[in-house]
Amino acid sequence: MSDTTEIAAPEIGSDALLAPRGGAWRERAHLLVLALGPVIGAVLLSGLVLLALGVNPVAYYGYVVERGLLNPYGLQATLTRMGPLLLIAAGLIVAFRAGIWNLGGDGQFLLSAVIVAALGPLLAPYLPVWLVLVIGLVVGAMVGAAWSVLPALLKAYQGVNEIITTLMMTFLGVSLANVLVKLFFRDPATTVPQTRTLIVADRLPRLFDTTISSGLIIGLVAIIVVHLVMTRTAFGLKLRIVGANPRAAIHAGLSVPALTVATFAISAALAGLAGAVEIMGVQGNVRADWNPAYSLTVVPLVFLARFNGFASIAFVFLFSVLSIGGESAARRTGVPNFFTLVVVAILLVMLGITEYLDQRRRAAGK
């Protein structure tokens, strides 16, 4: 998968030194249009859907902004929601830049969340809080990485399409997680099937006397580190070469199978870490049949950001505002709670249309 966010460094020479910089600014403006165009289109089309449902779209989006951004408690919930989403986005950036479609994030996330939710309350009475948190984060990342081993090996050594295998592993992971919650990890003290609850005092610390989980810091650090590694290091360059042209990577002496497995491991580990952060920072337990489906929701956000870590932070923030504010707006306007997913689906369609039009434009310009 080619790197569309990088601008080639100018050549050192008289022509390059005298060349106007207008081309670079036009390219940046073009990328901005490609990123914001689908968002604006999705908002407008979603507004038409709301009108068809008899709901004032201005009122709906007003409630979204009020609750998700302007309300202090809503803003804190928005920033807390960003933590696991940023970790998932970081994992997707690694995979997509390497030309790998890791669509198994939801299974990696949920299975890690269940195991961490079961492990945390068992360790808390015997170990210091900080050690329980560290173990939980490490275990979550390891579970996520382990759940990607089969698709990684099939892709690296047999050339099996990873879209199929990762989606299948997601189905298996979600199903296995539910079985674990209902049978092996079920809290016998509750009537509704769920894991034991990690008490608030043993969870990730809050930031600055607010309700914002420090999972936000973990997510921000992860996505910034991923961005810098993928754009500023030799390892990131190798992954991008593999994604851009695997045959050229082989001729360059790169071990494509090893890099493929490493990409899967890093991407899935970040998704698993997101599950651990969600449990130890927010939920405290996992109920039966719980599946927020964060991973597939974050996919269009990463594409809108053109696999840029800093741009992904902005889009994850916008989605978090929509997600948190949409819950309040749905109650006030009588819209179903899943309308946020409708907006994301429309956004995905608009992204596809935008990419198609851009490809047509580039082809016509050649």
What DSSP assignment string belongs to 78-102?
Answer: HHHHHHHHHHHHHHHHHHHHTT---
The answer on pLDDT for 120 being more than 90 is yes
Q: Taking the model in full, what pTM does it have?
A: 0.89
d(CA 144, CA 287): 19
Model confidence band, residue 24 (pLDDT cutoffs 50, 70, 90): confident
Model confidence band, residue 364 (pLDDT cutoffs 50, 70, 90): confident
d(CA 81, CA 290): 16
CB 272 within 8 A of CB 145: yes
**Looking at residue 21, what is its pLDDT?**
55
Q: Angle at the Cα of 65 (from 52 to 352), degrees rounded to 5?
A: 60
171-204 pLDDT, tens per residue?
999 999 999 999 999 999 888 899 999 999 999 9
Helices (H) and strands (E) in the chain, counts: 15, 0
d(CA 281, CA 79): 12
Model confidence band, residue 28 (pLDDT cutoffs 50, 70, 90): confident
For residues 284-307, b (16+ Cβ closer than 10 Å) or e, as one string? bbbeeebbbebbbbbbbbbbbbbb
- Mean local confidence (pLDDT), 97-108: 95
* Per-domain boundaries in the chain: 30-55+341-366, 57-334
Mean pLDDT for all residues in the chain: 90
Which backbone phi and psi does 160 adopt, to 5 degrees?
-75, 135
The answer on pLDDT for 7 being more than 70 is no
The answer on pLDDT for 239 being more than 70 is yes
**Looking at residue 22, what is its pLDDT?**
58
Determine the topology of domain 57-334 in CATH: ABC transporter involved in vitamin B12 uptake, BtuC (1.10.3470)
β-bridge mates for residue 15, sequence order: none
Residues 6+ apart with CB under 8 A from 14: none
Least trusted range by pLDDT, from 28-37, 51-60, 264-273, 348-357: 28-37
Model confidence band, residue 366 (pLDDT cutoffs 50, 70, 90): low
d(CA 211, CA 331): 23
- CA 184 to chain CA mean position, Å: 29
